[in-house]
Structure 1
Amino acid sequence: MRHRVVRVALTAVLVALVLLAVPLALAIRSSLYADQRDALERAALNGAVRVTPDFATGDPVELPAPPRGGSLGLYDPRLYLREGSGPASGDAAVRGALGATVSRGSSGGELVEAVPVSHAERVIGVVRASSPVQDVRNRVFAGWAALAGACAVALTVAVLVARRQARALAAPLENLSHHCRAVAAGDLSARAASSAVAEVDQVARTHNEMLDHLTELLRHARGFSANASHQLRTPLTGLQLTLEAGLGRDDTCLRPALEEALTATRRLHGTVEQVLRLSAAPGLNRPPAPDRSVGQVLHETERHWHGLFARDGRRLERSSRDVPDDVRVPGGPVSEILGVLLDNARAHGRGTVRLTVRDLDDALAFDVSDEGAAGSDAGRLFERGHSGGAGAGIGLALARDLAVCLGGRLFLARPDPTTFTLLVPVLPDP
């Protein structure tokens, strides 16, 4: 930002200097030339006053001193130099003055002024004054040099002022950027300081107010996570212990039901762990380590959902395309996401549901498809609170967040037939 402020200031100053200096330089040149011609005309008039009518009969004339570096001469009507200095024969300016008018011009690198001398309504002579053009040019160049120096001083002052103003404007923004980086790094106690710039102060106040609200929201969220962790984990752990104790009894009639209830309880415990982990620090958690093979995840998922689809008169098919069963993935989050997708296919889809795993070298693609269509609201499927049926509209949003925590991605691959794809990066097994 500092360089931009300096560039803008310099551009403005340069434009102003050009708009002012060019006309002023032309005015200096015109003024110096006009002053020199006026001085020559005054010298010629001063010499013409000293010419008497006896000049025509041969009476000598005493002319004043010529201009510095120039010449002053008296010419008769035959263009001969009679007194003073100058060319021996009159030039164009002298011939022009014989018409009873003041004549001016340039000849041989000189500025020339010629004034007629009249008597009895007749021109009896011409006084010619001249000076070198180079003298005027030297004064013009000196004036231009002074103007250039003034422009250089103005430009230097503008650079110094612009750099100072750039520092004054950029320092509060740099301070605000520093605090934003600190907040992005996790320090929610960082607050932007006030400055002398009202607009930046307004942004800083808004930034601090936003941090206050975010800190309060995070405090409530962490409090909720702690409360939910205590209130959910403790009853689930007690329920698991009770079911495990029931399995220790020799009651063959209740054993299948207890095993199924224990499996559901463990799955619920895993779901609670994933949700609490996701809500504890969204976006800051590291991806969980791979702990289960792909074959184990597919087997557990099929075993849980096959009966549910069978009760609805539908089929669940799974396949893996050249994917080794020993490739390991984070089992809990992947199972939870697949569960959400299969539940969504059961509630909103129709026909046969297919769970397919594809090997993409550095990632695995889990495809969940059915024979239904996503409909016109396909673009809003992952919006929290949006549901195509009687659901709460949380499942797909939760699955997408879990996929992000895995370092992967969940998206709708095809709306018709409905196909969701979960991309899970495959990390090398240490």
Structure 2
Amino acid sequence: MRARVVRVALVAAAVALLLLAVPLAVAVRFTFVADENGELERDAMATVVRVGPDFAAGDPVELPGGRGETQRGVYDATGRLRSGAGPATGGDAVREARAGGVARKRAGGELVIAVPVSSGERVIGAVRASTSARTVWNRVLWAWAALLGLCLLALGAAVIVARRQASVLSSPLEALARTSLAIADGDLTARADHSTIAEIDEVARAHNAMVERLARLLEQQRHFTANASHQLRTPLTGLQLGLEAALADPGADARAALAEAAEKTRHLDHTIDELLRLATSDASMSLPSPAQEVGELLEAAERRWHGVLARDGRRLDVLWEPEPGKLPVPGRTTDQILDVLFDNAHRHGGGTVTVTLRDLGTALAVDVADEGTAALESRVIFERGIGEGSGIGLALARELAAAAGARLALSGTAPTRFTLLLPLDGGR
């Protein structure tokens, strides 16, 4: 691009100089010739005033001093040289002057001016002034050389300005190209810098907006993959173990095992729906989720996790009053958050897990507590990648809560207690 900008600037400057220099060179030539003719005419007129009325009778003429390169001669009425320098016969220029007019001619490589000499109303002779045309052309050529030098100087300045301007124009684009290559290599934090060119800045802003959008999409994709892996692994393991246990026990109730497997499959389907909804929705908008009584959700969660905790010798207590238990909340979202909190208590907590439902009037509070101690502060415990495990569950639970217009917080550290606040439409 730099070479192209310089080339375009040079072509434009050359065309401009050509359009200016050619007419100027022609004007210089005509000006120099006209000036020389003017000088010759003044020399001739200065000689005319020295020719007296007795010139026709043979009176001699004293020529005034003039320029060294100018020849002056006085011719009589017959066209013969009487005084000064010049050809013996005046030629066409003297002949036209004897007819009563000023003659301007070029003859024999000279510029010639002939002026008539009059006495009374009669032309009695002519004064011829001439100079070498080479002298005039030498001055013209020197002027053209100076003009050419100025043109070359202007072209040189144009090259300097064009190279600088090319650098100004191409540097932001080269930086944008480097940024694009960095992004192509996987650096999604690279951003195009601001420049002094509005059009390039507009391209840079569009480029940055595109990269930010792609980064968000890729982050959502990564989060969805991690979330799906985190949320589906435990239920799938439980489903597999339940089916294998039913197959291994000849006296097992196959219908009960299939009913339990169907319930777990429905739960997996709801889990996938929630994860997809979270991955494809704007974080600033609440996710629509079918309403369900909170008591039903707590009972379903108790069925899923009672056996898991019991196998480790731990108790699960779910405490709630019948009236608050009938209040509707976002069903699938609340279900997923409860699974994350139960899984966190199972993996990182200890002792009895206690779930308490509290009616706050404008919201429902669900407390999930165990007898362990939280090792992380509330400001970092919900960040992804934090903690001893994968660091996904609590971050996902908070994202689900925020997307549904709810709030999840660490309300106690010794013992560990998480509180989920579920707003009620218009209170009660």
Whether the aligned pair in 2 keeps the contact of 1:114 and 1:126 (CA below 8 Å) is: yes
Instruction: State the 1:5 CA deviation.
Output: 1.8
Instruction: State the 1:71 CA deviation.
Output: 1.0
Aligned residue runs from structure 1 range 227-266, under 5 A: 227-248=227-248
2:137 is the alignment partner of 1:166: no
1:349-391 Cα shifts (integer Å, max 9, x gaps) = xxxxxxxxxxxxxxxxxxxxxxxxxxxxxxxxxxxxxxxxxxx
Q: Which residue of 2 aligns with 1:139?
A: 139
1:373-411 Cα shifts (integer Å, max 9, x gaps) = xxxxxxxxxxxxxxxxxxxxxxxxxxxxxxxxxxxxxxx
2-structure distance, mates of 1:233, 1:95:
122
Q: Which residue of 1 aligns with 2:44?
A: 44
Instruction: State the 1:161 CA deviation.
Output: 0.8
Larger Rg: 2
1-structure distance, mates of 2:54, 2:173:
89
Whether the aligned pair in 2 keeps the contact of 1:71 and 1:86 (CA below 8 Å) is: yes
Task: Count residues in correspondence.
Answer: 266
Instruction: State the 1:231 CA deviation.
Output: 2.2
SS in structure 2 at match of 1:79: coil
1-structure distance, mates of 2:143, 2:212:
64
1-structure distance, mates of 2:243, 2:139:
110
Whether the aligned pair in 2 keeps the contact of 1:67 and 1:130 (CA below 8 Å) is: no
Q: Is there any run of 5+ residues in structure 1 with no aligned partner, and where?
A: 280-430
Aligned residue runs from structure 1 range 22-421, under 5 A: 22-248=22-248
Whether the aligned pair in 1 keeps the contact of 2:40 and 2:70 (CA below 8 Å) is: no
Q: Which residue of 2 aligns with 1:2?
A: 2
Tell me which amino acid in the other structure corresponds to 1:154.
Answer: A
Aligned residue runs from structure 1 range 5-16, under 5 A: 5-16=5-16
Instruction: State the 1:242 CA deviation.
Output: 4.2
Instruction: State the 1:245 CA deviation.
Output: 4.9
Whether the aligned pair in 2 keeps the contact of 1:97 and 1:114 (CA below 8 Å) is: yes
Q: Which residue of 2 aligns with 1:413?
A: none
Q: Which residue of 2 aligns with 1:363?
A: none
- Write out the 4+ residue segments of structure 1 that deviate beyond 6 Å after TM superposition: none
2-structure distance, mates of 1:158, 1:240:
79
Whether the aligned pair in 1 keeps the contact of 2:100 and 2:123 (CA below 8 Å) is: yes
Whether the aligned pair in 2 keeps the contact of 1:40 and 1:67 (CA below 8 Å) is: no
Whether the aligned pair in 1 keeps the contact of 2:76 and 2:126 (CA below 8 Å) is: yes
2-structure distance, mates of 1:99, 1:236:
127
TM-score in terms of structure 1 length? 0.57
Whether the aligned pair in 2 keeps the contact of 1:109 and 1:133 (CA below 8 Å) is: yes
Name the Cα RMSD after superposition.
3.0
Instruction: State the 1:16 CA deviation.
Output: 1.1
TM-score in terms of structure 2 length? 0.57
Tell me which amino acid in the other structure corresponds to 2:186.
Answer: G
Tell me which amino acid in the other structure corresponds to 1:84.
Answer: G
Instruction: State the 1:243 CA deviation.
Output: 4.1
1-structure distance, mates of 2:184, 2:167:
25
1:17-51 Cα shifts (integer Å, max 9, x gaps) = 11111111111001000000000011111111100
Instruction: State the 1:220 CA deviation.
Output: 2.2
2-structure distance, mates of 1:247, 1:99:
141
2-structure distance, mates of 1:248, 1:141:
114
2-structure distance, mates of 1:94, 1:241:
132
Q: Which residue of 1 aligns with 2:322?
A: none
Tell me which amino acid in the other structure corresponds to 1:86.
Answer: G
Instruction: State the 1:80 CA deviation.
Output: 1.0
Q: Is there any run of 5+ residues in structure 2 with no aligned partner, and where?
A: 280-428
SS in structure 1 at match of 2:82: strand
Instruction: State the 1:211 CA deviation.
Output: 2.6
Whether the aligned pair in 2 keeps the contact of 1:68 and 1:131 (CA below 8 Å) is: no
SS in structure 1 at match of 2:65: coil
SS in structure 1 at match of 2:227: helix
Whether the aligned pair in 1 keeps the contact of 2:193 and 2:204 (CA below 8 Å) is: yes
2-structure distance, mates of 1:161, 1:94:
57
